Structure 1
Amino acid sequence: MSKRLIVAGAGGFGRELVQWVDSSPIFCRDNLISSVAFIDDSATDKVAGVKVLGSVDSFVPSVNDLFVCAIALPESRTRVVRILEDKGATFVPFVHDTAFVGSRSVLGAGVILCPKVLVSVDVTIGRHTHLNVGSSIGHDAVLGEFNTLSSNCFIGGNSKLGNNVFVGTSVTVSPRLNIADDVVLGAGSVVMRSVKRQGTTYGNPAKLIPKRV
């Protein structure tokens, strides 16, 4: 039975994701995807030629619907996913046909791997974590839930990211480091030490500006 892929979020990342789904015939075949549509709280009718079925709050999933959430900010993504999961939505990982996933690596529900992503062996990626174009994850790394990795990031082997971490463009995290929950790694940061508390990093080597309470 064919499936409809529902993309939550019709903003910039959502429009990119629809294009990547269209260029991933293997993903569509393996998941029986025959059509794609948006749900979005502000868009109406169509976005980029793709039908908008309504808002997140109003939409009622059917048994033939599969979901991905294309909202970049972890906090907003968490809220939308919880609303949809409470309605019984089924989230699937999206792996672009040009992405590579190594042996014994595990992807949680709703994970998104964009074009040219490399996931090495024995990696664990938690639910609803996004890896944008050209990012790489080293062997035995563990990424928590609802993380966002922007384009061209590198996470070294045996590193651990918590939950709700936002990783800016072209960030490097050295091997065997731990990154706490809710940390922002600013664009271009070269992280040489573990980040153990909330805040934002900048620079090379990265320095942490703690979050004000």
Structure 2
Amino acid sequence: MQNDNRHIAIIGSGGHADVVTEAALLQFPKQKITVFCNYSNGRQSIFGIPILNYSSLIAVLEKNQVTNFIIAVGQIEYRRNFIVELEKSSVQPISIFHRSAVVSASAKVGRGVYCGPMSVIHSGAHVCDNSIVNSMALVEHGCVVGANSHLAPRASLLGNAKTGQDVFIGSNATVFPRTNVTSNTIVGANSLVNKSITEPGTYFGTPLAKKNV
């Protein structure tokens, strides 16, 4: 039975916050949900939920007696900053699943994970804390998605592929079976990762190449 005394914080007010908030309202219809943002973008509410601006995140969460949070920002570096800050609080991450997401009973999904519309997490897969499996993204059998990683729409991890933490896999990109992507890596949209990436950086294309910076 769901805890009706939860107060869930959606952290962020951009486009990703829209989809997370909509899914949260469907998943937790009886819980209080509030949107928090640390800057003003002209928006006052999301699906009728007021957006509260703040200067101190932990202080505003405590003031509003928030029990759980999910980070509704897509950019990896911003998400990591929020994670580090929220580790100092007693507020706990909570996972949000769109009602059309498919998660195997044998899969393991951590806390603070968002699974978007028609996303699939197959048998024995493990999605670690505070990650995003976005719309129609695929995590095949035995795969591991590292903490605070983001699989963009239609990204695919094929059988037993693994990512480290703070990894972004772009839209329509595919990571081949039994292939590893090291932490702090960006893989561009439509790329094919057919061999393991062992050095952090930005990669794109077919064949895959590292972007020189």
Aligned residue for 1:81? Answer: 83
2:7–2:65 contact (8 Å) kept in structure 1: no
Deviations 1:80-120 (A, max 9, x none): 12222312111111111110111221111101101100000
Give 1:201 deviation, angstroms: 1.6
- Out of 187, 193, 196, the position equivalent to 2:195 is 193
Aligned match for 1:96, one of 98, 102, 117: 98
Q: Is the 8 A contact 2:20 2:96 kept in 1?
A: no
Number of residue pairs aligned between Structure 1 and Structure 2: 205
Please say which of residues 13-22 and 181-190 is displaced more in the overlay.
13-22
Distance 1:45 1:191, change over 3 A: closer
Residues of 1 paired with 2:167 and 2:72: CA distance?
16
Q: Is the 8 A contact 2:103 2:120 kept in 1?
A: yes
C-alpha deviation, 1:58, in angstroms: 3.7
What amino acid is aligned across from residue 60 of structure 1 in structure 2?
L
- Cα distance in 1, alignment partners of residues 203 and 43 from structure 2: 40
Quick one: distance in 2 between partners of 1:170 and 1:92?
Answer: 27
Alignment match, 2:28: 28
Q: TM-score, length-normalised on structure 2?
A: 0.89
177, 191, 194: which one pairs with 1:175? Answer: 177
Aligned equivalent of 2:39: 42
Corresponding residue SS for 2:92 = coil
Amino acid across the alignment from 2:28? C
Q: Give me the whole-angstrom Cα distance separating, in 1, the residues matched to 2:53 and 2:211.
A: 40
Equivalent residue, structure 2, for 1:60: 61
Q: Which runs of 5+ in 2 are unaligned?
A: none
* 1:61-210 to 2 correspondences below 5 Å: 61=62, 65-209=67-211
Q: 1:133 to 1:42 in 2, by over 3 A?
A: same
Write out the 4+ residue segments of structure 1 that deviate beyond 6 Å after TM superposition. Answer: none
**Equivalent position amino acid for 2:44 in 1:** K
* TM-score with structure 1 setting the length: 0.89
Say if 1:99 and 1:115, in contact at 8 Å, map to a contact too: yes
Instruction: Work out which of the residue numbers 14, 24, 37 in structure 1 matches 2:17.
Output: 14
What percentage of residue pairs aligned between the two structures are identical?
A: 21
Can you give the 5+ residue segments of structure 1 that lack an aligned partner in the other structure?
A: none
Q: Which moved more, 1:85-94 or 1:201-210?
A: 201-210
Q: Once the 2 structures are TM-superposed, how far is the Cα of residue 53 of structure 1 from its aligned partner?
A: 3.0
Of the structure 1 ranges 194-203 and 133-142, higher mean CA displacement relative to structure 2 is found in: 194-203
Is the 2:58–2:89 Cα contact (8 Å) retained in structure 1? Answer: no
